């Protein structure tokens, strides 16, 4: 993975060696071919480049992470005009699952390493009754209709959307306690003994002390609140506020799928259903709403791989049961614990890529907007929220490329070329679901 | 009024105790007025034995003296020593008495004959009996078992009958006027309570009397003996949230203001007019299990900003009337119940959800008693009959306020605003006495209940309009046989019913068991209550012991319902972690048990009283076809009881010790298991010891000290959000003139 990332981060469109599956915890990519190089004249601050960016164009039959040809230049200090760069579409045709992945779409999982389970033959099977999460995703859709799926939402739209957001037991109620399980857990000796293990971020002092882990209260909540308030007050550009809310809520959904898949094993089996519903909105794989719909529109493969990951955790939950009872992870033998980690990791990889393609799409829109001298600030507002979410994982996979991305997100109004480089870096770091 | 203290020495209890003569009482007063004159307006209340109004039923009475010496925190708290009563608390500023396993809307609350239940009384425990100021009460009576013949809808588990203090109606001084004032101050260490009441009792020539007062108290966070441990996990129970000291319970405390005035005009020996005004205003009372909920940020809180009840009524009483109406009591009342709830996350909250409900009730009740007709030698017959009607109109609003931008928008209200509800009936009850040995009782009621609520067919709301009428009849009867002097065998068979109210039919609210949705298709539930037992009333002992069984058809209880039953676009319904609705359970549910009390009147001023109650309830599984076929009923109290040992001296000193105990309750229904108020595995048992002492200098002073929970036990009444108070002292000081 690291080799591939480095290669593409430099936007050197040469053939990159395929990853050795044995060296990564993500699915493999097929060898890249037919790529041309890009002249990386500038790669520093991402805004003041004046040189032509020789990114390739037009190829769609190669793995993502590359652009094919230079399409224009960027004036110093501007990002909204004169930067027409063709960005190739997403292509994951070369991506292949790991041998350890759960693959229900391939011969009903008969050929993979996973034992037979309830997920093998088809749609997601609920552990319990339909989860309350579904209503939160419906609320997300309602908010989307009010704010970012329409132009210039009014202050009343923001108020209506915020009413959806703060509904009892709704999005806000979960967002304010959301943990990012990618970060180290709060040390147990600091836990509030009156609070459940998975709700420690409801303790204000802990949320303040561990802001990365307690990203809901420390990061998402202020961001979303401020954007709603600004929109309601009619301050500034409403589309920017809407974009920031979109970014914040998408971030929440992305982390929630991952979190619920974990607590399905460690806290409550029905959380598997929540993981599924946070992603699909409780709908079938071919007609998801919420984050699932956004991923599916951009990459059906990534969408299906995420769904495979969700089915993997559900499959594990089915396997790790005892006559209808679901023992928690810590009570299970090591091999079953390992199997859970395997499925959960599969889901994580899918989610990274799925989330990345949404970010990537907005980056591409940014470049297109810049090309046509359209407004880019709304897209950038989204990206400044949604983009840094991937920094931690990017840093783990490829520190250099991650640094480029981090630098990009901190820019005020980057040049299209820099964004294009960002796309390349993103594709390199997160090439496959 | 002269003091009633007698010669030095212990006060003998019971009927052998000398009954102090009302030396200053007017000679032409009625018996009741004379009694009032003897007892009210001073710090002295010297009951001998309290008689329940319903002498041939399972009933018990809390007297004014009990209230003064036990120092309960509230009217519900005053019932903790009554057999068959178990007081649950969802919040410190709330209390809901369970009577034979039922509470809230399945019991009826009456104040001076006025029905307090209205159409928004919700399923399960509620806070409304707390809105009776115990400092205004002369007595509290608990009638156990179904009693809808007399008290109408809701009286399935029993009736709670509060009787206020009347003006004393003395002859007065040389010019005919009299006046007594009283100031009382009370404080407690467990919750930092400090408060008081100023009271006035004035009158003129025994004809006109005014009794009234104003009270205030500020109650802080409640300290418990410690955290409760779950019987199944051994881990501390997570609700309520404790402060860092491990004993102070977050989400407790409140403020309270009360005012009352009672004007009595004794027209003559036969006729009396009464005007009553009782105002209760409670502020800032958090609902403990939601302040915060166990899964929410710790600043989150649902607070009852305002819980008000205003009752104004007039009563016309006749005594010694014509044979067909020897006694008459007619009341006309107006009651306004106001509730304002606030949900937010403390000072940093960016939004606030407010709900406000107003219930306006006008009512009337007529209770007539014939004279006791002598049908034959040793055979007498007497009939009571009457009617009652109470009509509610409801206003309900809810809104969100976004505090960071100062924008407020309406949201779906808890009830369908504009709803109306009538509960009414005519009733009669006859008594036949046979040879001073047997008393037969039989009666019936015809009821009419009307519920109307506007619908809101907006897909987001999806409330169906309600236009329901229920009519029907209930009956009951009993027999009391005097086996020997002072020993009676009593058996009663009474029906109870409860018509669905507006809360059942239209409300949407967060409950302890989950987000509750209305069920417009509910039908009345009906109970048949059989009790049999003995009452002993002897000079040295009083005893009542009853076994009972209630068969409840179409019991209304909470059941889980799937989200696909939610209104299509109602994301609140869909978002709830656990949705419940009320449903009539097909089949018959049972509540059975034994309850009783014994009181001993011992020499040297000593006395002892003990109570015990065991209740067992089960009903059909709400989910048809699911095992087990029958399941426990929700929140049935465990085996519980009390023991009090007291001593009194003629000089006015008194002391007592009191033990309250309960066995664990581990029989839980599905909704109980999802209720954060109930520890995993059930509620542990407890034993709590209180010590009391005091001095009464008649009529000028009363000082009472109660050391509660002297062992500092961590305990909780089953179904409560809060643990009981930890070790602490409560002090009452009264000064009267």
pLDDT at B105 over 90: yes
How many Å lie between the alpha carbon of B559 and the closest alpha carbon of chain A? 14
What pLDDT does B578 receive? 60
Q: Is the same domain home to A47 and A87?
A: yes
pLDDT at B10 over 60: no
SS3 string, chain A, reads: CHHHHHHHHCCCCCCCCCCCHHHCCCCEECCCCCCCCCCCCCCCCCCCCCCCCCCCCCCCCCCCCCCCCCCCCCCCCCCCCCCCCCCCCCCCCCEECCCCCCCCCCHHHCCCCCCCCCCCCCCCCCCCCCCCHHHHHHHHHHHHHHCCCCCCCCHHHHHHHHHHHCCCCCHHHHHCCCCCCCCCCCCHHHCCCCCCHHHHHHCHHHHHHCCCCCHHHHHHHHHHHHHHHHHHHCCCCHHHHHHHHHHHHHHHHHHHHHHHHHHHHHCCCCHHHHHHHHHHCCCCCCCCCCHHHHHHHHCHHHHHHHHHHHHHHHHHHHHCCECCECCCHHHCCHHHHHHHHHHHHHHHHHHHHHHHHHHHHHHHHHHHHHHCCCCCHHHHHHHHHHHHHHHHHHHHHCHHHHHHHHHHHHCCCCCHHHHHHHHHHHHHHCCCC
Strand order in the sheet with B509-511: B509-511, B514-517, B579-584, B556-560
Chain B residues touching A163 at Cβ < 8 A: 400, 409, 411
Chain B residues touching A195 at Cβ < 8 A: 238, 294, 298
- How many independent structural domains does chain A possess? 2
Preferred mutation among B248, B298, B299, B343 to probe A, highest tally of A CBs within 10 A: B298
- How many independent structural domains does chain B possess? 1
Residue B208 is classified by DSSP as E
Measured over the CA atoms of residue B298, residue B299, residue B300 and residue B301, the dihedral's sign is positive
How many Å lie between the alpha carbon of A317 and the closest alpha carbon of chain B? 21
Residue after which a domain boundary falls, among A229, A247, A269: A269
- Burial zone of B169 (CB within 10 Å; 0-12 exposed, 13-18 middle, 19+ buried): buried
Give me B471's structure tokens. 């009519």
A169 to B576: CB separation less than 8 angstroms, yes or no: yes
Chain B residues touching A176 at Cβ < 8 A: 296-297, 345
Residue A78 forms contact with B (CB below 8 Å): no
Closest Cβ opposite residue B409 in set A132, A163, A168: A163
Q: Is the same domain home to A263 and A190?
A: yes
Q: Which residues of B make CB contacts under 8 Å with A?
A: 227, 236, 238, 241-242, 292, 294-299, 343, 345, 350-351, 353, 400, 402, 404-405, 407, 409, 411, 510, 515, 562-564, 566, 569, 571-577
Residue B9: how many other CB atoms lie within 10 Å: 11
What pLDDT band is residue B528 in, cutting at 50, 70 and 90? very high
pLDDT at B21 over 60: no
Could you tell me if residue A359 is inside a domain?
Answer: no
Chain A residues touching B355 at Cβ < 8 A: none
What pLDDT does B553 receive? 95
What pLDDT does A11 receive? 36
User: Residue B536, SS3?
Assistant: strand
How many Å lie between the alpha carbon of A197 and the closest alpha carbon of chain B? 10
Closest Cβ opposite residue B405 in set A134, A135, A233: A233
- Angle (CA) B111-B113-B117 rounded to 5° is 55
Could you tell me if residue A297 is inside a domain?
Answer: no
Q: Is the same domain home to A74 and A145?
A: no
pLDDT at B401 over 80: yes
Chain A residues touching B460 at Cβ < 8 A: none
Which comes out higher in pLDDT, residue A135 or A36?
Answer: A135
CA distance A376 to A415: 10
Label the pairing between strands B514-517 and B579-584. Answer: parallel
pLDDT at B625 over 90: no
pLDDT at A44 over 60: no
- What's the whole-number mean pLDDT along residues B707-717? 97
Could you tell me if residue A343 is inside a domain?
Answer: no
Residue after which a domain boundary falls, among A220, A247, A269: A269
Partner B, chain A 112-141, Cβ-Cβ below 8 Å? 129-130, 132, 134-136, 138-139
A194 to B238: CB separation less than 8 angstroms, yes or no: yes
Domain limits for position B295: 31-226+237-736
Could you tell me if residue A339 is inside a domain?
Answer: no
- pLDDT tens digits along A190-234: 999 888 888 999 999 999 999 999 999 999 999 999 999 999 999
DSSP string of B219-268? E-PEEBSS--B-TTT-SBP-SS-B-TTSSEESS--EEEEEEEEEEEEE-S
Closest Cβ opposite residue B297 in set A135, A176, A196: A176
pLDDT at A31 over 50: no
What pLDDT does B138 receive? 95
CA distance A379 to A364: 10
Give B396's Cβ-side CA count (13 Å radius): 23
Share of chain A above pLDDT 90, in %: 70
Residues 6+ apart with CB under 8 A from B393: B359, B360, B418, B419, B420
What ipTM was assigned to the predicted interfaces of this complex?
0.83
A195 to B238: CB separation less than 8 angstroms, yes or no: yes
**Could you tell me if A209 and A187 are in contact, meaning their C-beta atoms sit under 8 angstroms apart?**
no
Preferred mutation among A133, A158, A178, A194 to probe B, highest tally of B CBs within 10 A: A194
B350 to A229: CB separation less than 8 angstroms, yes or no: yes
Q: Is the same domain home to A140 and A91?
A: no
Could you tell me if residue B540 is inside a domain?
Answer: yes
Helix-helix angle A238-266:A221-233, to 10 degrees: 150
Measured over the CA atoms of residue B104, residue B451, residue B618 and residue B612, the dihedral's sign is positive
How many Å lie between the alpha carbon of A203 and the closest alpha carbon of chain B? 6
What pLDDT does B459 receive? 63
Could you tell me if residue A376 is inside a domain?
Answer: no
**Could you tell me if B156 and B496 are in contact, meaning their C-beta atoms sit under 8 angstroms apart?**
yes
Chain B's closest residue to A164, CA to CA, is B571
Could you tell me if residue B76 is inside a domain?
Answer: yes
Could you tell me if residue B119 is inside a domain?
Answer: yes
pLDDT at B43 over 60: no
- What's the whole-number mean pLDDT along residues A65-85? 42
Closest CA to B180 of B689, B713, B697, B699: B699
What pLDDT does A67 receive? 34
What pLDDT band is residue B514 in, cutting at 50, 70 and 90? low
B400 to A163: CB separation less than 8 angstroms, yes or no: yes
pLDDT at A49 over 80: no
Could you tell me the CA-to-CA distances from B30 to B170, B319, B372 in Å, in that order? Answer: 12, 9, 18
Q: Is the same domain home to A134 and A264?
A: yes
A108 backbone φψ class: left, alpha, beta (φ>0; ψ -120 to 50): left
A196 to B297: CB separation less than 8 angstroms, yes or no: no
**B347: phi then psi, degrees, rounded to nearest 5:** -65, -25
pLDDT at B2 over 90: no
How confident is the prediction for chain B on average, in pLDDT? 90
Q: Is the same domain home to A178 and A264?
A: yes
- Angle (CA) A11-A305-A114 rounded to 5° is 125
- pLDDT tens digits along B74-90: 999 999 999 999 999 99
Closest Cβ opposite residue A196 in set B242, B294, B298: B294
Partner B, chain A 263-322, Cβ-Cβ below 8 Å? none
What pLDDT does A57 receive? 31
Which comes out higher in pLDDT, residue A350 or B238?
Answer: A350
Chain B's closest residue to A198, CA to CA, is B295
A168 to B236: CB separation less than 8 angstroms, yes or no: no
Q: What is the CATH number of the domain that holds B689?
A: 2.40.170.20
pLDDT at A43 over 80: no
A135 to B292: CB separation less than 8 angstroms, yes or no: no
Give me B594's structure tokens. 């034994």
pLDDT at B392 over 90: yes
Chain B residues touching A196 at Cβ < 8 A: 238, 294-295
What pLDDT does B45 receive? 42
Could you tell me if residue A152 is inside a domain?
Answer: yes
What pLDDT band is residue B557 in, cutting at 50, 70 and 90? confident
User: Residue B57, SS3?
Assistant: coil
pLDDT at B37 over 70: no
Could you tell me if residue B7 is inside a domain?
Answer: no
What pLDDT does B571 receive? 61
Chain B residues touching A130 at Cβ < 8 A: 562-564
Residue A231 forms contact with B (CB below 8 Å): no
A169 to B241: CB separation less than 8 angstroms, yes or no: no
- What's the whole-number mean pLDDT along residues B176-190? 95
Chain B's closest residue to A173, CA to CA, is B296
A119-133, B39-53, B337-351, B679-693: lowest mean pLDDT where?
B39-53
- A192: which strand partners? none
Closest Cβ opposite residue A202 in set B297, B566, B574: B297
A43-57, A161-175, B714-728: lowest mean pLDDT where?
A43-57
Residue after which a domain boundary falls, among A225, A247, A269: A269
Closest Cβ opposite residue A132 in set B297, B407, B574: B574
- Burial zone of B501 (CB within 10 Å; 0-12 exposed, 13-18 middle, 19+ buried): buried
- What's the whole-number mean pLDDT along residues B84-107? 96
pLDDT at B380 over 90: yes
- pLDDT tens digits along B635-652: 999 999 999 999 999 999
CA distance A265 to A269: 6
Q: Is the same domain home to A168 and A263?
A: yes
User: Residue B9, SS3?
Assistant: coil
Chain A residues touching B242 at Cβ < 8 A: 194
Which comes out higher in pLDDT, residue B21 or B628?
Answer: B628
What pLDDT band is residue B31 in, cutting at 50, 70 and 90? low
Chain A's closest residue to B239, CA to CA, is A194
B242 to A204: CB separation less than 8 angstroms, yes or no: no
B407 to A159: CB separation less than 8 angstroms, yes or no: yes
Closest CA to B268 of B351, B205, B349: B205
Q: Is the same domain home to A231 and A135?
A: yes
Give me A329's structure tokens. 């992870």
B295 to A232: CB separation less than 8 angstroms, yes or no: no
A168 to B294: CB separation less than 8 angstroms, yes or no: no
How many Å lie between the alpha carbon of B467 and the closest alpha carbon of chain A? 29
Could you tell me if residue B16 is inside a domain?
Answer: no
Q: Is the same domain home to A32 and A93?
A: yes
CA distance B417 to B148: 29
CA distance B216 to B279: 12
Instruction: Tally A–B CB contacts below 8 A.
Output: 102
What pLDDT does B521 receive? 86
- pLDDT tens digits along A196-205: 888 999 999 9
What pLDDT does B49 receive? 59
Chain A residues touching B299 at Cβ < 8 A: 204
Domain limits for position A31: 2-101+389-429
Give me B387's structure tokens. 């009617």
Chain B's closest residue to A170, CA to CA, is B575
A163 to B241: CB separation less than 8 angstroms, yes or no: no
Partner B, chain A 179-218, Cβ-Cβ below 8 Å? 193-196, 199, 202-204, 217
What pLDDT band is residue A168 in, cutting at 50, 70 and 90? confident
Could you tell me if residue B649 is inside a domain?
Answer: yes
Q: Is the same domain home to A138 and A263?
A: yes
Could you tell me if residue A356 is inside a domain?
Answer: no
Could you tell me if residue B5 is inside a domain?
Answer: no
Give B714's Cβ-side CA count (13 Å radius): 15
Chain A residues touching B411 at Cβ < 8 A: 163
CA distance A428 to A431: 5
What pLDDT does B254 receive? 98
pLDDT at B162 over 50: yes
- pLDDT tens digits along B295-327: 899 999 999 999 999 999 999 999 999 999 999
């Amino acid at each position: 993975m690291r080799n591939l990332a480095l290669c593409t981060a430099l936007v050197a469109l040469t053939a990159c060696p395929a990853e050795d599956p044995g060296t990564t915890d993500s699915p493999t990519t097929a060898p890249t071919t037919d790529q041309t190089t890009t002249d990386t004249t500038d790669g520093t601050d991402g805004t003041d480049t004046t040189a032509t960016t020789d990114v390739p164009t037009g190829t769609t039959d190669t793995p993502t992470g590359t652009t094919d040809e230079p399409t224009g230049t960027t004036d110093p200090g501007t990002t909204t005009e004169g930067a027409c760069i063709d960005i190739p579409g997403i292509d994951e045709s070369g991506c292949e699952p790991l041998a350890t992945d759960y693959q229900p779409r391939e011969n009903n999982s008969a050929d993979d390493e996973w034992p037979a389970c309830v997920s093998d033959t088809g749609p997601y099977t609920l552990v319990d009754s339909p989860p309350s999460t579904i209503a939160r995703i419906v609320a997300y859709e309602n908010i989307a209709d009010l704010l970012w799926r329409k132009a210039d939402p009014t202050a009343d739209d923001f108020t209506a959307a915020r009413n959806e957001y703060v509904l009892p037991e709704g999005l806000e109620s979960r967002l304010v306690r959301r943990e990012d399980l990618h970060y180290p857990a709060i040390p147990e000796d600091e836990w509030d003994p009156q609070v459940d293990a998975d709700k420690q971020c409801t303790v204000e002092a802990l949320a303040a002390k561990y802001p990365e882990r307690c990203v809901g209260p420390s990061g998402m909540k202020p961001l979303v609140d401020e954007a709603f308030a600004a929109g309601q007050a009619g301050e500034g550009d409403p589309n920017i506020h809407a974009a920031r809310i979109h970014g914040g809520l998408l971030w929440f959904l992305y982390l929630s799928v991952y979190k619920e898949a974990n607590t399905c094993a460690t806290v409550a089996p029905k959380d598997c259903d929540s993981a599924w519903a946070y992603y699909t909105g409780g709908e079938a794989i071919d007609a998801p709403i919420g984050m699932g719909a956004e991923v599916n529109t951009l990459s059906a493969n990534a969408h299906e791989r995420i769904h495979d990951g969700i089915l993997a955790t559900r499959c594990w939950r089915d396997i790790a049961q005892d006559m209808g009872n679901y023992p928690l992870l810590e009570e299970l033998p090591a091999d079953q614990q390992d199997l859970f980690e395997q499925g959960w990791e599969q889901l994580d990889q899918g989610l990274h890529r799925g989330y990345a393609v949404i970010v990537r799409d907005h980056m591409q829109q940014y470049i297109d907007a810049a090309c046509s001298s359209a407004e880019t600030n709304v897209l950038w507002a989204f990206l400044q929220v949604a983009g840094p979410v991937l920094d931690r994982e990017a840093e783990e996979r490829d520190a250099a490329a991650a640094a480029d991305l981090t630098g990009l997100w901190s820019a005020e109004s980057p040049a299209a070329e820099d964004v294009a480089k960002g796309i390349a870096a993103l594709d390199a770091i997160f090439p496959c679901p | 009024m002269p003091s009633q203290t007698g010669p030095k020495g212990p006060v003998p209890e019971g009927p052998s105790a000398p009954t102090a003569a009302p030396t200053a009482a007017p000679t032409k007063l009625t018996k009741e007025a004379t009694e009032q004159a003897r007892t009210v307006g001073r710090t002295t209340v010297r009951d001998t034995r309290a008689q329940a109004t319903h002498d041939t039923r399972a009933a018990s009475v809390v007297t004014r003296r009990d209230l003064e010496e036990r120092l309960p925190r509230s009217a519900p708290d005053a019932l903790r020593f009554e057999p068959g009563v178990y007081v649950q608390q969802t919040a410190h500023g709330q209390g809901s008495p369970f009577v034979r396993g039922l509470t809230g809307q399945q019991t009826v609350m009456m104040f001076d004959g006025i029905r307090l239940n209205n159409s928004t009384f919700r399923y399960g425990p509620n806070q409304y009996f707390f809105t009776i100021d115990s400092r205004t009460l002369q007595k509290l009576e608990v009638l156990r078992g179904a009693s809808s013949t007399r008290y109408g809808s809701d009286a399935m588990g029993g009736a709670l009958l509060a009787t206020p203090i009347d003006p004393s109606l003395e002859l007065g001084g040389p010019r005919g006027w009299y006046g007594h004032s009283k100031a009382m101050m009370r404080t407690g260490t467990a919750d930092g309570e400090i408060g008081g009441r100023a009271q006035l009792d004035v009158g003129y020539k025994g004809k006109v009397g005014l009794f009234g007062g104003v009270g205030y108290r500020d109650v802080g966070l409640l300290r418990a003996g410690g955290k409760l441990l779950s019987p199944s996990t051994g881990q501390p129970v997570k609700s309520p949230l404790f402060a860092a000291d491990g004993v102070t319970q977050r989400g407790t405390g409140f403020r309270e203001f009360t005012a009352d005035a009672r004007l009595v005009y004794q027209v003559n020996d036969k006729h009396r007019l009464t005007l009553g005004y009782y105002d209760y205003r409670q502020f800032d009372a958090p609902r403990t299990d939601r302040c915060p909920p166990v899964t929410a940020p710790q600043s989150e809180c649902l607070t009852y900003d305002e819980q008000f009840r205003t009752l104004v009524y007039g009563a016309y009483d006749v005594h010694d009337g014509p044979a067909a109406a020897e006694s008459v009591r007619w009341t006309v009342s107006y009651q306004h119940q106001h509730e304002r709830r606030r949900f937010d996350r403390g000072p940093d909250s960016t939004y606030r959800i407010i709900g406000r409900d107003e219930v306006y009730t006008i009512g009337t009740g007529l209770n007539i008693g014939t004279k006791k007709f002598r049908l034959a030698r040793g055979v007498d017959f007497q009939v009571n009959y009457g009617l009652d009607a109470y009509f509610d109109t409801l206003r309900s609003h809810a809104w969100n306020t976004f505090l960071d931008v100062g924008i407020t928008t309406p949201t779906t209200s808890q009830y369908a605003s504009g709803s109306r509800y009538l509960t009414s009936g005519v009733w009669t009850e006859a008594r036949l006495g046979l040879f001073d040995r047997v008393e037969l009782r039989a009666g019936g009621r015809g009821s009419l209940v009307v519920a109307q609520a506007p619908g809101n067919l907006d897909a987001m709301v999806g409330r169906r309009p309600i236009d329901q009428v229920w009519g029907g009849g209930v009956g009951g009867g009993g027999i009391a046989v005097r086996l020997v002097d002072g020993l009676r065998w009593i058996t009663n068979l009474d029906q109870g019913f409860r018509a669905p109210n507006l809360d059942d039919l239209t409300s949407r609210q967060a409950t302890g068991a989950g987000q509750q949705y209305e069920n417009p298709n509910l039908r009345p539930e009906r109970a048949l209550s059989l009790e049999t037992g003995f009452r002993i009333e002897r000079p040295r002992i009083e005893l009542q012991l009853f076994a009972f069984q209630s068969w409840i058809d179409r019991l209304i209880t909470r059941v889980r319902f799937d989200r696909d039953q939610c209104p299509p676009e109602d994301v609140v319904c869909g978002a709830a972690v656990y949705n419940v609705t009320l449903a009539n359970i097909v089949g018959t549910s049972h509540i059975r048990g034994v309850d009783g009390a014994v009181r001993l009147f011992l020499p040297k001023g000593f006395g002892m009283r003990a109570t015990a109650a065991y209740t067992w309830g089960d009903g059909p599984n709400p989910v048809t076809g699911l095992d087990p076929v029958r399941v426990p009923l929700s929140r049935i109290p465990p085996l519980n009881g009390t023991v009090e040992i007291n001593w009194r001296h003629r000089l006015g000193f008194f002391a007592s010790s009191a033990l309250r105990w309960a066995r664990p309750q581990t029989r839980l229904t599905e909704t109980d298991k999802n209720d954060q108020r109930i520890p995993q595995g059930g509620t542990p048992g407890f034993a709590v010891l209180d010590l009391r002492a005091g001095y009464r200098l008649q009529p000028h002073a009363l000082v009472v000290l109660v050391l509660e929970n002297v062992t500092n036990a961590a305990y909780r009444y089953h179904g409560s959000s809060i643990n009981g108070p930890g070790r602490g002292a409560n002090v009452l000081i009264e000064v009267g003139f």
